[in-house]
Structure 1
């Protein structure tokens, strides 16, 4: 995928929080260029077997879902995802203005491990991830997805702090 000359795959960890929206805004302003492929990686800790197709895709993650399909909330729900209108609007605007193709991959499991696995499975040029802005003590106790990914990813990783983050 990413090996095709001229084709850049930019990964974006997306949990539909303010931190991940800040990462999206940063990527749009500083990184994305026309012709890029923007891959949203949405990791759910536990699959909901009753309301999703997670049972089919639990080990490999969902197939790549075009943003136009993922914007249909009934399709997003099939994968257990709950995107908010603000993020979907922002994604559609970025796709149109930056002339990038946006696709979504839903994964199930530990976000740290799944993000690193996705980087290896779909060779990316880079990954952008938001930060929750945990203080040092909370980061030690809870662990930090961004710290883990920065130290274990096989591609460059940019961590974006949202303006509302403290610490």
Structure 2
């Protein structure tokens, strides 16, 4: 399942949350080893603050164009931020954009298609009740991936 030649290919699940930054930093400090190829996998979803309650089918074309332009800029800035994190951590890798309805299946599919040998993801530490209603990306990955999964759980009170 891993890339040949002794190199590990590792998918690190990211989004634009503080937990992704902590996960990437933790992986680079504690798990990464020379020769690892890191794929920062980001399931690009519309930014809720950008779209709000605008109905794209009946809205003003100028407003829709502005919203889509802002979304494009947000995506480019986020990708640049994560590419810089790889450079700063001296970690070989790249950012891959995923475009699926849900992040959990997107990350699992990316790991399979990229022949990754491991998935690393963060956890927001949701309670059992919130996880039941909202779902959990890390929980989905843990139960559906066919490779080892490392879940970095962080105390929400210590992330700020």
Q: Normalising by structure 1, what TM-score?
A: 0.71
Match of 1:35 in 2: 35
Corresponding residue SS for 2:156: coil
Q: Name segments (4+ residues, structure 1) moved above 2 Å.
A: 45-48, 77-82, 84-91, 162-166
Match of 1:93 in 2: 88
Residue 146 and residue 26 in structure 1: after superposition, are their counterparts in 2 closer, same or farther (change >3 A)? same
| CA 1:86–1:105: 2 relative to 1, 3 Å | closer
**Does the aligned pair in 2 maintain the 1:115–1:149 contact within 8 Å?**
yes
* Aligned-partner Cα distance in 2 for 1:87–1:106: 12
CA drift of 1:79 comes to 9.2
Question: Do the aligned residues in 1 keep the contact of 2:79 with 2:95 (CA within 8 Å)?
Answer: no
From 56, 75, 82, give the equivalent of 1:80: 75
Match of 1:8 in 2: 8
- C-alpha RMSD over aligned residues: 3.1
For the 8 Å contact 1:12–1:24, the answer to whether it is kept is yes
Q: Distance in 2 between matches of 1:153 and 1:46?
A: 25
Does the alignment pair 1:158 with 2:153? no
Please say which structure displays the higher CA radius of gyration.
2
